[in-house]
Structure 1
Amino acid sequence: MIFDRLQNLLNRIDEGKRLINQYRPLSPAIVSRLREQLVLEWTYNSNAIEGNSLTLKETQMVLQHGLTIGKKSMKDHLEAINHRDAIVFVEELAFHDTKITERNIKEIHSLVLKQIDSQYAGRYRDIQVRISGSSHTPPEAIQLPQLMEQFAKKRLFYVEGHPVEQAALAHFDFVSIHPFVDGNGRTARLLMNLVLLKNGFPPAVILKNDRKKYYDALEKGHRGKTDDFIFVVGRAVERTLNLYFEVIPQIKSHFISLTEASKIFPYSQDYLNILARRGAIPAFKLKRNWMVTCEALQAYIKKHS
C-alpha cells in the first residue's frame, strides 16, 4: 500500500516538473519571487524544527531587512542568517557540475554554526552522542571518517534511482551517522535539497507543523522502513511544485478544477480525484483543489476508450 502511494506521488512530481519545464525560462520576476519565498520558508521551518523561537515574520525581518528582534537571542538571529548563507552555498554547489565532497559537507555545516559554535563548526564530533527521542544510537566517533567517505560516494557522488528517493535517503543516512555534535538536522536538510537541486527538482521544505510526522518517519526508517520518510520528503517537494504552479500565469490559465471537469467529461469528481492522486492524469493542487487540463482528460479518454 505504501509503495503504491509512494509511486503515485513520484509520478505526480515527475509530471509536475515536466509541466513547469514547458514554461521555462521563467520570467526573472517569477524566479526572484519564488526564490525569496523558498529561502524564507526553508530557513524558518528548518530552524523552527530545531527549536529556534523566531516566527516566520520575524525571520523575514531578519533576513530581508536586517532588523534585530527584541527579546530574541543572538543565537536565534545567527541561525537565521547562517542558514540563509548556507542555502546560497548549496545553490552554488548545485548549479556547478562538480562532485560533492566531504569538504563541502563540512563547509555547509561550518556555515550553519558560524559564530555559534566555533569549536565544532565544520568538524566531525569526537564524542559519543545520542539522538533525543530516538531508539537509534549513532556510530562511535572513531568510525566517522570511513562512514562519511562511504556516505559521500554512495549518496552524493553516484546517485541512482529517483532523485526524490535518493535525496530522502541521503538525509536519512546522514542523520543516522550524526557526524556532528550539533546542526545535523539542518545540515541533513541542506544536503537533501542539494541532491534535489542538482537533479533539477525544487527544494523540499519540511514544515514545522509536520515535525512529528517527520520525526516519526525517521524513526520508522531506523527500524528498516524508509518508504514513509521518502513519502514525507516527496510531499514537501510536491508542495514546492505547487508554489510554482500558483505563480506561473500560463499554467493557471490552462487548468480547470475537478468540479468543472466533472461537468464537461463523463467522470465524477471522486473518480477524477482518484486519477489525480494516482498520477494517472497530469494534475496539481492549487490551494486545496486539484487542477487538470481538458487536453489531459481527452488524452485519458482516448487511451482508455
Structure 2
Amino acid sequence: MVKHELREEIMLKKNKISGDAVSFDARARLVRDSLTNLGDVYSFWIENPDLRGAILMENKSPQTVRKLAQRGIRRLHNAWYFLSHFGRDCDFVNALDINALQGANALVLGRNAVEGRFRDCEVSLKWPEFRPPKPQEIPQRIEDLLRAVKEEYFNDPLDASIYTHLALALTQPFEEGNKRTARLVQNRMLVDYGFPPAVIPVGEAKFYMGLLRKAIPTYQAGKLHPEKELFFDYVASKVNNGLDLILDDLGVSDSLIPPQLG
C-alpha cells in the first residue's frame, strides 16, 4: 500500500482544500478546467507512441509530427469524456464495467466506443519473467478486478485506484493502448474522490516502466494493499504533486502540514 507518511500528507492536503467550501469549489474548477484541455494533462511523451515513432523516423516534417501529436491528444480527450459519462448519476467506481473499459480503449485507439473488445491473441511486454494472461482468461480476470476494486474503493480510494492502473497495465486486456487506458481509468477514479490526476512526466517513462515491472509479484498475488510497493508510492507521489499545485494555485497556506511530512 501507499506508505503511511505519504498517505497522511495527501489526505491532509486534500482535507485542507475540501474542508473550505470556497477552496473546494475553486479546486473543482481548476481540475475541470485542466481536464477540459487534455493537451495540458495527457500530452506527454509516454502517452503518445505515434508521436515517439514519428520523431524517430526520418523525413517527417514538423507539420506531420504536430498532426500526429494532436491526433493522440484528441483520442485521449475523447476517451476521458467517455469515462466521465459513467458515474454521472452515481459513483464512477460503481458504474465501472467491461463496457466502460472496452469503450475507453477503443477511443484511445481512434475507433468508435462500440468497437471496443478484448484481445484474441497473446501479447508480450518483452519481459522474460512475465507473460500476460491468455485471451480466454481475460474476461474472468477483469470481472475479478472490478469486483475487488468496487469492494475496496470506498475504504481506500488511493490504493484501489492505483491497483486498477497496475492490474490493467499488466493484464494487457487489449491489443494496444493498455497502459494509456489504465492511467485514464485510474485518474477517473481519483478525480471522482476529489484527488487530482496522477501525471507521469515526460522524462520518467523508463522509470515508470521499471517500477511497473517490479510490481509484477504484487499483481500476480492480487494484492490491493501490498506491504511495500514502490509503484504505489510513485503514483501516489504524483497525486501529492498535483495537490501541491492546486494549493499553490489557490493561494492556500501549507502551514497545517506537519514539517516532517511537507
The 3 A distance-change label for structure 1 pair 27 and 158 is closer
The 3 A distance-change label for structure 1 pair 41 and 232 is farther
Q: Give the superposition deviation at 1:234.
A: 0.5
1:71 counterpart SS class: helix
- State how 1:55-74 maps to structure 2 within 5 Å: 70-72=63-65, 74=67
Q: d(CA) in 2 for partners of 1:11 and 1:107?
A: 35
Q: Identity rate of aligned residues, in percent?
A: 21
2:64 counterpart SS class: coil
Quick check: 2:48–2:72 contact (8 Å CA) kept in 1? no
Structure 2 residue corresponding to 1:76, chosen from 66, 69, 81? 69
Structure 2 residue corresponding to 1:179, chosen from 161, 173, 177? 173
The residue type paired with residue 40 of structure 1 is G
The 3 A distance-change label for structure 1 pair 230 and 123 is same
- Find out whether 1:276 has 2:262 as its counterpart: no
Q: Give the superposition deviation at 1:26.
A: 4.3
Q: How many residues align?
A: 240
Q: Give the superposition deviation at 1:34.
A: 4.3
Give unmatched runs, 5+ long, in structure 1.
55-68, 257-271, 284-305
Higher relative CO (CA 8 A, sep ≥ 6), structure 1 or 2?
2
**Map of 2:41 onto structure 1:** 42
Q: d(CA) in 2 for partners of 1:29 and 1:52?
A: 35
Q: d(CA) in 2 for partners of 1:210 and 1:147?
A: 29
Q: Give the superposition deviation at 1:235.
A: 0.5
The 3 A distance-change label for structure 1 pair 160 and 217 is farther
**Map of 1:141 onto structure 2:** 135
**Map of 2:89 onto structure 1:** 96
Q: d(CA) in 1 for partners of 2:192 and 2:132?
A: 28
RMSD value over aligned CA atoms? 3.1
The residue type paired with residue 276 of structure 1 is P
Q: d(CA) in 2 for partners of 1:90 and 1:152?
A: 15
**Map of 1:291 onto structure 2:** none
Give unmatched runs, 5+ long, in structure 2.
53-61, 219-225
Q: d(CA) in 2 for partners of 1:30 and 1:167?
A: 20
**Map of 2:229 onto structure 1:** 227
Q: Give the superposition deviation at 1:189.
A: 0.2
Q: d(CA) in 1 for partners of 2:240 and 2:74?
A: 26
Quick check: 2:26–2:250 contact (8 Å CA) kept in 1? no
| Larger mean Cα displacement after TM superposition, 212-221 or 228-237 | 212-221
Q: d(CA) in 2 for partners of 1:165 and 1:20?
A: 21
The residue type paired with residue 240 of structure 1 is G
| Larger mean Cα displacement after TM superposition, 34-43 or 197-206 | 34-43
The residue type paired with residue 18 of structure 1 is N
Q: Give the superposition deviation at 1:128.
A: 0.3
Q: Give the superposition deviation at 1:181.
A: 0.3
The 3 A distance-change label for structure 1 pair 123 and 6 is same
**Map of 1:262 onto structure 2:** none
Structure 2 residue corresponding to 1:216, chosen from 199, 210, 213? 210
Query: How big is each residue's C-alpha offset from its partner over 1:206-225, in whole Å with a ceiling of 9 and x where there is no partner?
Result: 22222122111111111347
Q: Give the superposition deviation at 1:247.
A: 1.2
Quick check: 2:123–2:175 contact (8 Å CA) kept in 1? yes
The residue type paired with residue 10 of structure 2 is I
**Map of 1:9 onto structure 2:** 6
2:51 counterpart SS class: coil
Query: How big is each residue's C-alpha offset from its partner over 1:182-231, in whole Å with a ceiling of 9 and x where there is no partner?
Result: 01011000111122123222211122222122111111111347610100
* Structure number with bigger Rg: 1
Q: d(CA) in 2 for partners of 1:105 and 1:134?
A: 27
TM-score under structure 2 length normalisation: 0.79
Q: d(CA) in 1 for partners of 2:155 and 2:24?
A: 31
Q: Give the superposition deviation at 1:113.
A: 1.3
The 3 A distance-change label for structure 1 pair 104 and 216 is same
Q: Give the superposition deviation at 1:106.
A: 1.0
Structure 2 residue corresponding to 1:163, chosen from 157, 163, 168? 157
Q: d(CA) in 2 for partners of 1:157 and 1:134?
A: 33
